[in-house]
Structure 1
Amino acid sequence: MARSPIPFIYTLLLALLPFATAENQLTSSSLNTCQEDSLFSATHFDVSFTPSNGSLQWTIDGVSNIKTNVTLNLAVVAYGLNVYTTSIDPCTTEELRGLCPMQLGSIEMTSNAVFDPETLEAVPGIVYTVPDLDAKVQVSFNSTETGEGLACVEADLSNGKTVDQKGVAWVLAVTSGIALVSSAVTSGLGHSNTAAHVAANALSLFSYFQAQAFIGMTAVDLPPIVASWTQNFQWSMGIIDVDFIQDIATWYQRSTGGKPSQILSDLGQTSVQVQKRSLDAVSELGKRAAQLITRQSTENQAGNGETAAVIIRGIKRVGFRAHIESTNIFLTGYIFFMVFVVFVMLGVVLFKFICEGLVKAGRLKHDQFQDFRNGWTTVLRGIMYRCVLIGFPQMVVLCLWEFTQNDSAAEIVLAIFTLATMIGILGWASSKVIRLARRSIAMHKNPAYILYSDPVSLNKWGFLYVQFKATAYFFIVPVLIYVLIKGMFIALGQSSGVAQAVGLVIIEAVFLIGVCILTPYMDKKTNAFNISICVINFVSAIFLLVFSNVFNQPGIVSGVMGVIFFVYNAVFSTVLLIIVLVASVIALTAKNPDTRYQPMRDDRSSFIKSQSQLGTTELDALGATARGESKHGFHNNKGARIEDDDESSSFSDSNKAQAYGQPPASPGYQHDNNSGRHMPPYQSQQPPTAYDHSRTGSMRSQGGFRAQGASPSPWQRGAGYD
Structure 2
Amino acid sequence: MLFSVARLRLFLSALSLLPVVTAHQKTLFTSSVSYCAPPENLLVEQFDIAYFPANNSIVFNVTAASVQANVNVSANLFLNVYGLRPFNHTIDICTLFGGALCPLPLYNFSGHETLQLPSSVDITKHLPAIAFQIPDLEAFVQLTLTETSTGDLKACLQSTLSNGWSTHQPGVSWALAGLALVTLFSAIWQSFVPDSLAPARLLDLLGLYQLIASSGFFDLNYPVVYRAFAANFSWTMGLFSQSAQSSMQRSINSLRHHTGGRLADASQGGTTALVNRKLSPYSQPVSGGAAAFAIPPSLIASAKALPKVNLASLAARTASAVEAPSVRDVQTVTGSSSNLLEAGVPIYANTVGIATANAFMTAFFSALILLAVAAFVLAVSYGLIILATRRSQSRWLMAIKARFPIIAREWGLRIALICYFPLVTFALYEWTLKDSWLVIVISVITFLTIAGIVGYATFRILHHLRRSSPYLLPTDLPAMSPLFAHYRAPRYFYFAFPILALFLRAVLIAAGKNAGTAQIILVVIFEALLLAAYIVCRPGQTRRADVLGVFVGIVRVACAGLLIAYIEPINLAPIPRVAIGFVVLVVFSIAVIVMFLNALWNLGLEHVWRRRPFNALRSRSGSSTGDDQSALEKGANSEKSKSDVRVSAVAVDERPRNPTPTHNEEIDPAVRQTYPAFTPTTTIAEPSSAHSTDTSTSYGHQIQSRWRLATHTRSSSAADSTITRTPLSTSYGPSPVDDTRPPSPSQFGHSRQPTIEEERLSHP
TM-score calculated relative to the size of structure 1: 0.70
Equivalent of 1:627 in 639, 643, 653: 639
Which amino acid is the alignment partner of residue 330 of structure 1? Answer: F
| Match of residue 15 from structure 1 | none
| Match of residue 561 from structure 1 | 580
Distance in 2 (CA, whole Å) between partners of 1:422 and 1:259 is: 28
- Map 1:340-489 onto structure 2 (within 5 A): 340-362=370-392, 366-368=394-396, 370-441=398-469, 447-448=470-471, 450-454=472-476, 457-458=477-478, 460-489=479-508
CA contact (8 A) 2:364 2:423 kept: yes
Shift of residue 403, structure 1, vs aligned partner: 0.8
Alpha-carbon displacement from aligned partner over 1:597-654 (angstroms, at most 9, x marks no partner): 999xxxxxx996599xx9xxxxxxx95xx43479961499xxxxxxxxxxxxxxxxxx
**Structure 1 residues 578 and 311: CA distance shift in structure 2, 3 A:** same
- Which one is further off, 306-315 or 387-396? 306-315
- Map 1:659-678 onto structure 2 (within 5 A): 662-664=664-666
Equivalent of 2:614 in 591, 595, 599: 591
Shift of residue 384, structure 1, vs aligned partner: 1.1
CA contact (8 A) 1:33 1:41 kept: no
Secondary structure of the residue that 1:550 maps to in structure 2? Answer: helix
Shift of residue 415, structure 1, vs aligned partner: 0.5
Secondary structure of the residue that 1:192 maps to in structure 2? Answer: coil
Secondary structure of the residue that 1:163 maps to in structure 2? Answer: coil
Shift of residue 347, structure 1, vs aligned partner: 1.1
| Match of residue 572 from structure 1 | 591
- Map 1:247-286 onto structure 2 (within 5 A): 247-259=250-262, 261-264=264-267, 275=269
Shift of residue 561, structure 1, vs aligned partner: 1.8
Distance in 2 (CA, whole Å) between partners of 1:253 and 1:608 is: 47
Distance in 1 (CA, whole Å) between partners of 2:447 and 2:642 is: 41
Distance in 2 (CA, whole Å) between partners of 1:96 and 1:553 is: 46
**Structure 1 residues 568 and 632: CA distance shift in structure 2, 3 A:** closer
Equivalent of 2:158 in 113, 135, 154: 154
**Structure 1 residues 517 and 336: CA distance shift in structure 2, 3 A:** same
Secondary structure of the residue that 1:31 maps to in structure 2? Answer: strand
Distance in 1 (CA, whole Å) between partners of 2:64 and 2:77 is: 18
- 1:538 equivalent to 2:561? Answer no
Which amino acid is the alignment partner of residue 527 of structure 1? Answer: D
- 1:316 equivalent to 2:335? Answer no
Which amino acid is the alignment partner of residue 378 of structure 1? Answer: I
Distance in 1 (CA, whole Å) between partners of 2:188 and 2:457 is: 20
| Match of residue 650 from structure 1 | none
Which amino acid is the alignment partner of residue 368 of structure 2? Answer: M
Distance in 1 (CA, whole Å) between partners of 2:282 and 2:194 is: 47
Which amino acid is the alignment partner of residue 452 of structure 1? Answer: P
CA contact (8 A) 1:210 1:237 kept: yes
Shift of residue 258, structure 1, vs aligned partner: 3.5
State the aligned residue count: 595
Alpha-carbon displacement from aligned partner over 1:531-583 (angstroms, at most 9, x marks no partner): 22222222222332212333222222112222333333333323322332343
CA contact (8 A) 2:10 2:50 kept: no
- 1:167 equivalent to 2:171? Answer yes
**Structure 1 residues 107 and 11: CA distance shift in structure 2, 3 A:** closer
| Match of residue 704 from structure 1 | none
**Structure 1 residues 154 and 9: CA distance shift in structure 2, 3 A:** closer
Equivalent of 2:138 in 116, 134, 138: 134
Unaligned runs of 5+ in 1: 13-18, 268-274, 442-446, 600-605, 615-621, 637-656, 671-681, 686-722
Distance in 1 (CA, whole Å) between partners of 2:153 and 2:251 is: 47
Distance in 2 (CA, whole Å) between partners of 1:510 and 1:26 is: 46
| Match of residue 219 from structure 2 | 219
Shift of residue 240, structure 1, vs aligned partner: 1.2
Secondary structure of the residue that 2:449 maps to in structure 1? Answer: helix
Q: Percent identity?
A: 21
Distance in 2 (CA, whole Å) between partners of 1:182 and 1:610 is: 17
Equivalent of 2:532 in 513, 518, 523: 513
- Which one is further off, 329-338 or 503-512? 503-512
CA contact (8 A) 1:21 1:129 kept: no
Shift of residue 397, structure 1, vs aligned partner: 1.2
Which amino acid is the alignment partner of residue 544 of structure 2? Answer: K
| Match of residue 185 from structure 2 | 181
| Match of residue 699 from structure 1 | none
| Match of residue 79 from structure 2 | 76
Secondary structure of the residue that 2:47 maps to in structure 1? Answer: strand
CA contact (8 A) 1:31 1:42 kept: no
Distance in 2 (CA, whole Å) between partners of 1:543 and 1:36 is: 38
| Match of residue 550 from structure 1 | 569
Alpha-carbon displacement from aligned partner over 1:359-414 (angstroms, at most 9, x marks no partner): 4455xx82335444113223222221221111111011110111122332111111
CA contact (8 A) 1:222 1:288 kept: yes
Distance in 2 (CA, whole Å) between partners of 1:553 and 1:297 is: 33
Unaligned runs of 5+ in 2: 13-20, 284-289, 304-330, 623-628, 649-659, 674-699, 704-764
Which amino acid is the alignment partner of residue 577 of structure 1? Answer: F
CA contact (8 A) 1:400 1:491 kept: yes
| Match of residue 721 from structure 2 | none
Distance in 1 (CA, whole Å) between partners of 2:532 and 2:155 is: 50
Secondary structure of the residue that 1:130 maps to in structure 2? Answer: coil
- 1:114 equivalent to 2:137? Answer no
Alpha-carbon displacement from aligned partner over 1:231-278 (angstroms, at most 9, x marks no partner): 1100001111463333442343345443573443xx5xxxxxxx4xx6
CA contact (8 A) 1:512 1:531 kept: yes
**Structure 1 residues 152 and 295: CA distance shift in structure 2, 3 A:** closer
| Match of residue 651 from structure 1 | none
Shift of residue 137, structure 1, vs aligned partner: 2.0
Looking at CA atoms only, which structure, 1 or 2, has the larger radius of gyration?
A: 2
CA contact (8 A) 1:62 1:107 kept: yes
CA contact (8 A) 1:40 1:151 kept: yes
Task: Give RMSD over aligned pairs.
Answer: 4.8
CA contact (8 A) 2:24 2:164 kept: no
CA contact (8 A) 1:223 1:558 kept: yes
Distance in 2 (CA, whole Å) between partners of 1:531 and 1:665 is: 44
CA contact (8 A) 2:260 2:437 kept: yes
TM-score calculated relative to the size of structure 2: 0.66
| Match of residue 202 from structure 2 | 202
Which amino acid is the alignment partner of residue 158 of structure 1? Answer: S
Alpha-carbon displacement from aligned partner over 1:644-689 (angstroms, at most 9, x marks no partner): xxxxxxxxxxxxx99x65544555699xxxxxxxxxxx9xx9xxxx
**Structure 1 residues 142 and 222: CA distance shift in structure 2, 3 A:** farther
CA contact (8 A) 2:217 2:348 kept: yes
- Which one is further off, 400-409 or 53-62? 53-62
**Structure 1 residues 95 and 598: CA distance shift in structure 2, 3 A:** farther
CA contact (8 A) 1:73 1:141 kept: yes
Which amino acid is the alignment partner of residue 394 of structure 1? Answer: P
Distance in 2 (CA, whole Å) between partners of 1:116 and 1:175 is: 51
**Structure 1 residues 436 and 99: CA distance shift in structure 2, 3 A:** farther
Distance in 1 (CA, whole Å) between partners of 2:145 and 2:190 is: 67
Shift of residue 121, structure 1, vs aligned partner: 8.3
Distance in 1 (CA, whole Å) between partners of 2:619 and 2:194 is: 12
Query: Relative to total residues, which structure has the larger helix share, 1 or 2?
Result: 1
Alpha-carbon displacement from aligned partner over 1:38-93 (angstroms, at most 9, x marks no partner): 998854321122346643133455689999877665442223333x1324154676
CA contact (8 A) 1:56 1:114 kept: yes
